[in-house]
Amino acid sequence: MNVVITGASKGMGRAMAEIFAANGHNLFLCSRGEEQLKKTMEEIHAKNPGIKVKAKARDLSKKEEAQSFGKWILDNGYPIDVLINNAGQFIPGSIYQEEDGTLEQMMSVNLYSAYHLTRVIVPDMIRKKSGHIFNICSIAALKAYSNGGSYSISKYAMHGFSKNLREELKPFNIKVTSVFPGAVLTESWGDFDNTDNRIMVAEDVAEMVYAATRLSAGACVEDIVLRPQLGDL
């Protein structure tokens, strides 16, 4: 398979890239930071020399950069089998007191990036009548919580995008899966002590996403909800 992953240089994106690469699938990766993305690409390819790993640094919150990344993928001539819209950002705060512009930023990174990239990639999937799109939402898309603010709004919107996309693409045999992770140990948690496994690790999400691609053509995992065993923090 040929797999596109955004937000791929670290965290859940990196973990998903690792598992697909380990199972022999070609990768097209994207993130904003060019240096870290190049390092990720080189390390994954060194461990998996039999696959193709290509990467392009783009800020997908900008419409033109999301579109150019999609066109760059298609120009490589590889039919895309899996698209994972993972690029995202979390800015905490309450709606009534967060900084002006926060909603626009959260929507641009967490929703519009996926919208614009998908619109470039999906016509090729429609032509071949196959494909699988994963939209990484958040547990914040299912239940409002304190300090979620515009981040939660944007993830609710991402959930709605996924539901609509799924219905639209059913006639073309294209699957759409929404992924709702709870707390996952990534850089955003800083020096959080997880020795007692209080929260999940990125590999947990990667394992579930990869497993969903392994089903027969007649089955679709519509939603993947993952929470820490002891519940949300």
Query: Which residues have a catalytic role annotated?
Result: 151
d(CA 8, CA 28): 9
**Buried residues in 158-184 as b, exposed as e (16+ CB within 10 A):** bbebbeebbeebeeeebbbbbbbbbbb
- Which residues are CB-contacts of 220 (< 8 A; sequence separation ≥ 6)? 166, 175, 176, 177
Assess contact for 187 and 10: CB atoms under 8 A.
yes
Locate tokens 């394992």: which residue?
Answer: 207
Q: Tally DSSP H helices, then E strands, for the chain.
A: 7, 9
